[in-house]
Amino acid sequence: MEYVSTRNKELRVSAAEAIAMGIAPDGGLFCPTAFPRLTHAEFAALMGMDYKQRAAMILGKFLTDFTAEELKSFTEQAYADEKFGGRDTVPIVSLADDVHMLELWHGPTCAFKDMALQMLPHLLTASLQKTGERRTCCILVATSGDTGKAALEGFADVPKTKIMVYYPVDGVSPMQKLQMVTQQGENVEVVAIRGNFDDAQSAVKRIFTDQETAKRLDAHGLMFSSANSINWGRLAPQIAYYVSAYCDLLGAGKIAHGQTVNVCVPTGNFGNILAAYIAKQMGVPLGKLICASNENHVLTDFFAQDGVYDRNRSFHTTDSPSMDILISSNLERLLFFLSGQDDALVRQQMDALAQDGRYDVSGALGARLRADFAAGWCDDAQTARTIRRVFEEQKYLCDPHTAVAMHVMEAYRAETGDSAPVIVASTASPFKFCKPVAAALGHPIETDGTEQLAALEAVSGCKAPAPLAALGAKTPRFDRVVDKADILSTLDLIL
């Protein structure tokens, strides 16, 4: 399996090279040249495996320069029972016969990013060895809340790595901020920026492609890589949980063999739902991929307008901050796939996005977008009503992102009459967002810090995850705040 840049398919690299580099030199994203298909025999074998084994098998289809033994070792370490609360790494909770919550937040940081970022350090360090890289790897991360902590947790004190995380100072929940600023590790740095997630993400991308900065790091024996989902090593592990979810539903008798299942994913950067699209291309019987957005509904508009992407709009800070994004990086990969790997088209559209803040592929790709995807959005008031209704009717406590997905899924069903079973990606513990969740239940929380956890426990009757409860004993380490224009100067912290 080779990988090419979305903006230059003549640039061909191995999986290890793609993971080590993180992003292509031309600013493009690395993509596999083909989608491996699961055979009937392989699917039957998956049915008898646990999650660690399934993840190793799926990764092996894409990462062909890694041995089966390596991937087995990596998944056993990444998804160790003590990290994920037991052998059921990604439990499925069925709210009805045809609505199934895929809980992706039982890892050490209580968000779905753990599913990839517990694996990425193993893939990256092995990739550096395979490519003969001797420099220390500097990992730059822009986060809207969850990626930052998950990356810090995954890479803390990993040899031959340094990690720098940037987050919008007013754009994450209090619990997300506390998780990041208390992070331990000799190789970690955390910086808040005055700006939003898109500002941080754009700045990080510019740093990656700045040749003078690269030369400066090289002189210090350093190189750049990424832990955002622009890195294929971050995205690939996410494919596994959609494959595994279908196997689990089939094994539990919730669906029949070959039955189509829809998937609804709350997403801002588009990586999580793109992983479901790739699972579908591998032969998993997934139907509509329902893209759920909050008030920053640039993705919903993209699908509604058959391919017109326009980030020239107001930015909203919402109760679902991990989706407060107007530049969805992984959409570039979808354009590459749907256009038949037309790198010239992708290059043209990404140039238009950089220069004008918009692009239009409606003529060429509109019908192909509609074939696989549906989309919808809701505001904070609708999100809160969904949290309360699902709790009262189903005794299931949602975080705001998962509630957005529930609302959009139900609206899609009502509008289309599509009654296929649906997997809803539950992406974070509700205890990461205590204040909006408690307020939705009619019991506003005034306290800050980890006292919020006890307050939500009392309101909901649910227990806070241990990793969040442990934050009360930790001391904040990082308090640096910079303007978005000054991000480049912060690299001095890791030199």
The residues annotated with a catalytic role in the active site are 113
For the chain, the C-alpha Rg in angstroms (whole number) is: 21
What is d(CA 84, CA 95) in angstroms, rounded to the nearest whole number?
22
Tokens 């289809």 belong to residue: 61
Contact 113, 146 (CB under 8 A): yes
Q: Are strands 161-168 and 136-142 parallel, antiparallel or unpaired?
A: parallel
d(CA 154, CA 119): 8
Q: Which residue has the tokens 């031959």?
A: 160
CB 464 within 8 A of CB 437: no
CB atoms within 10 A of CB 339: 18
- What is the number of other CB atoms lying within 10 angstroms of the CB of residue 309? 24
As a whole number of angstroms, the distance between CA 143 and CA 151 comes to 10
List residues bridging with 290 in a β-sheet. Answer: 264, 374
CA dist., res. 53 & res. 66, Å (int): 15
| DSSP letters for 253-317 | TSS-TT--EEEEEE-SSSHHHHHHHHHHHTT--EEEEEEEE-S--HHHHHHHTTSEEE--S----
The owner of tokens 């060895």 is 129
Longest alpha-carbon distance in the chain:
60
The span from the CA of 55 to the CA of 50, in Å, is 9
DSSP class per residue in 114-166: HHHHTTHHHHHHHHHHHTT--SEEEEEEE-SSHHHHHHHHHHTT-TTEEEEEE
